[in-house]
Amino acid sequence: MAFHESWIEKQIREAQERGEFDNLSGAGKPLRGLDDPDPDWWVKKMMAREGLDASDALPPVMLLRRERATFPESLVDVRSEEGVREILRDYNARVIEDRRRPALGKNSPVWAATVDVDEMVEQWRTLRSERFANRGVAPEPVRSGSGATAGVANRNGQGRRWWRRVWGGRHTGKA
């Protein structure tokens, strides 16, 4: 009986004869993951090695839903009301954009809910005041407008210019 050796088998046999498989790292050790009950162990290991987050693989609608679940707590560090409103308007615009994408398949599409901006701003104000009350510090003034003159009013009822707020009014010109 003649034994026919394929080209691949010949390459492996010749490499073994040359000793190229001797002293490999991990030789004599069990293969990792074979006893692990999680069939996706190798994917998780690769993601950890590459520094990837599992949420990067989620569909956009699920990322939007996850983002909405963090409101208003994730907005507490935002200093101005206008900044909070801008974040919430941006979120709502991304939700509407996601809804405009065509749905694939016969199942009804999954949607993320929009947020009521005014309601979230009120919740943000409440959380911010509670946060500063727990610290025993007076809350920073909530600025509702935008632009250079928004925010703190001077004696004449007019807004102070931005450099006055930054440098504490050390500028010699009038505001």
Q: Quick check: 145 and 151 in contact, CB under 8 A?
A: yes
Q: What is the reported pLDDT for 162? A: 43
Burial label, 71 (beta-carbon count in 10 A; 0-12, 13-18, 19+):
middle
Helical packing angle, 60-69 and 81-99, nearest 10°: 150
Q: How far apart are CA 127 and CA 142, in angstroms?
A: 13
Q: What is the reported pLDDT for 136? A: 63
Tens of pLDDT, residue by residue over 14-71, are 999 999 988 888 777 877 666 667 888 888 888 889 998 887 788 888 999 999 999 9
Do you find a cis peptide bond into 102, omega within 30 degrees of 0? no
Tens of pLDDT, residue by residue over 72-110, are 899 988 989 999 999 999 999 999 999 888 887 787 788
Q: What is the reported pLDDT for 106? A: 81
Q: What is the reported pLDDT for 151? A: 37
Q: What is the reported pLDDT for 160? A: 44
Would you state the structure tokens that stand for residue 147, as one six-digit string?
């632009």
Q: Give the type of residue at 81.
A: E
Q: Which residue has the higher pLDDT, 129 or 134?
A: 129
Instruction: Kindly list the distances between the CA atom of residue 26 and the CA atoms of 22, 38, 126, in Å, as whole numbers in the listed order.
Output: 11, 22, 58
Instruction: Enumerate the domain spans of the chain.
Output: 65-137
